[in-house]
Amino acid sequence: MKKSKFEGYSDKLLFKFLKEIVTLLEDEGINYATMKFDDEVSVIFHDSLKKFGMDVLSYIDQDFLFVLIKRNISILQEDNLTSSLDRPTCSEYSFDVSASVILYQTEYYEHKISSYSENPYRIVKVMEDDGNFSYYDGKLTNTDVHDSETNDVNIEKNTFYKI
């Protein structure tokens, strides 16, 4: 399980980072007590920590800082750190994603037929013409995807559960 690099930082250093983030959030008119994590908040996290020499923040780092702010709202209203920060713990989650995809593919099915002929191809063709043969009744043995189009991808919100 991947964890945030900030877990190893001292409360004093984290407090400095959080105060900088909170200041930028307030400058942008975002109430950090009620904020939701979104693209705008992500940009503010990045911008606020650039002055500390951090150009890139991973998503797990942003998540850690976001939850740390939410858990320490009263402490962040003070000018100095007066108590320990309430730190979150990392957990692993599983979730589902549904994708609506159009596939252009060749499917290969294995069929069996009883016949007295050495080559029953003509019998199967007649069965197909008469509507008495369906390719999908066989056993799917191989698929060769030529092209695909993804129409819609949904992260299924109600499928998250802690592992």
24-36: pLDDT as tens digits: 999 999 988 888 9
Confidence of residue 163 (pLDDT cuts 50, 70, 90): confident
Residues 78-104 have pLDDT tens digits of 999 999 999 999 999 888 888 899 999
pLDDT digits (tens, 9 = 90+) for 42-78: 999 999 888 888 888 889 999 999 999 999 999 999 9
3-state secondary structure of 17: helix
Q: Per residue in 108-138, is it b (16+ CB within 10 Å) or e — as a string? A: eeeeeeeeeeeeeeeeeeeeeeeeebeeeee
Instruction: Give the residue among 74, 24, 76, 82 at the shortest CA–CA distance from 49.
Output: 24
Predicted confidence band of residue 159 (pLDDT cuts 50, 70, 90)? confident
pLDDT at 6: 94
Do the beta carbons of residue 138 and residue 111 sit within 8 Å? yes
CA-nearest of 80, 78, 133 to 111 is 133
The reply to whether the predicted model has a pTM over 0.85 is no
Query: Which pair of structure tokens corresponds to residue 74?
Result: 């009263």
pLDDT recorded at residue 123: 86
CB atoms within 10 A of CB 17: 20
Distance of CA 141 to the CA centre of its chain: 32
Dihedrals φ, ψ of 7, to 5°? -60, -30
Strand partners, 153: 99
DSSP E strand stretches across 66-138: 93-94, 97-110
pLDDT at 1 over 80: no
Instruction: Give residue 62's pLDDT.
Output: 92
At 144 the pLDDT is: 93
Percentage with pLDDT > 90 across the chain = 56
